[in-house]
Structure 1
Amino acid sequence: MLVQTIKFEDIEVGMSISYSQTITDADVKTFAGLSGDHNPVHVDEEYAAASRFKKRIAHGLISGSFFSALFGTKLPGPGCVYVAQSFQFKKPVYLGDTVKAIAEVTGIDKDKRRVFFRTFCKVGHRTVIDGQAELYVPEI
């Protein structure tokens, strides 16, 4: 992912960024190992087939983690720090789905050097995650 620097003073309400990635079996297994979340709905084909989802689903925070990549490398960019992030998980993400994470600037607090975002993930036309984020942008 390309790292770019946008000056805090140049950030405007309405700016948006996005990132897309297809979720693989390796992604799910790696995330299970990193997080310790070995819920069988994520890692066991047989168990997942008997669930309401009918097949394995990706951990919701895999898709949610794409926002960290966007914020740290694109907007606001290197050096920014999360203050808050909320998620509403609307629909499942299945292995093989391509997730598009989108973050749109909704507000700026210049005195506190904070940027507020609407964050959401889509698979095709379906919104799978909806939320908000707040980032602190240090003076560099």
Structure 2
Amino acid sequence: MTEYTFDEIVVDMKTKFTIKIEESIVNEFAKITGDYNSLHMDEEYAAKTKFGKRICHGMLLSSFFSRLVGMYIPGKNALYFSQTLNFQAPCFIGDIITIEGKVIEKSQSTKIITIKTTAHNQTGKCLVDGIAKVIVRESIK
């Protein structure tokens, strides 16, 4: 976990990490949220849709933005303020996802940083993007 202070964060700072979307992750997310929609959970049903197979919950995919903020930029001093989400394309079980964040703005008066957040699959296709606003708290000594 990183521990950037507000002053250490600069516009254009970037970070990224990858994760493979395993069936177990989708099943655990359904268990936690109670979202057992057939599109996510029933292979036979999903095969009959335009997607042709089960898809990952969009909110599961976007939940990795929480890891981006809480563990990388700014890390320990993060307090999520808001997050917009634009779902662009489906994510399938087995996809390898790259979660990326880029600081695009800083407000000295509010100590809020703005981060462009994106999730791409292994072919580079954008699956979800958005804008995070994050309060950078003072470090506790």
Q: Give the TM-score of the pair, scaled to structure 1.
A: 0.95
SS at match of 1:72: helix
* Deviation readout 1:80-108 (Å, 9 max, x if unpaired): 11111011110000000011110100000
Q: What is the identity percentage for the equivalent residue pairs of Structure 1 and Structure 2?
A: 33
Alignment counterpart, residue 57 of structure 2, candidates 50, 56, 59: 59
Distance in 1 between residues matched to 2:99 and 2:55, nearest whole Å? 17
Name whichever of 89-98 and 66-75 sits farther off: 66-75
The equivalent of 1:128 in structure 2 is: 127
2:28 is the counterpart of 1:42: no
For structure 1, the 5+ residue unaligned runs are none
Q: Is contact 1:19-1:66 (8 Å) kept?
A: no
SS at match of 2:137: coil
The equivalent of 1:138 in structure 2 is: 137
Instruction: Let me know the Cα RMSD of the aligned residues.
Output: 0.8
The equivalent of 2:24 in structure 1 is: 26
SS at match of 1:31: helix
For structure 2, the 5+ residue unaligned runs are none
Measured after TM superposition, the shift of residue 40 of structure 1 is 0.5
* Deviation readout 1:95-137 (Å, 9 max, x if unpaired): 0001111010000001111000111110121011111110011
Measured after TM superposition, the shift of residue 79 of structure 1 is 3.1
SS at match of 1:42: helix
SS at match of 2:52: coil
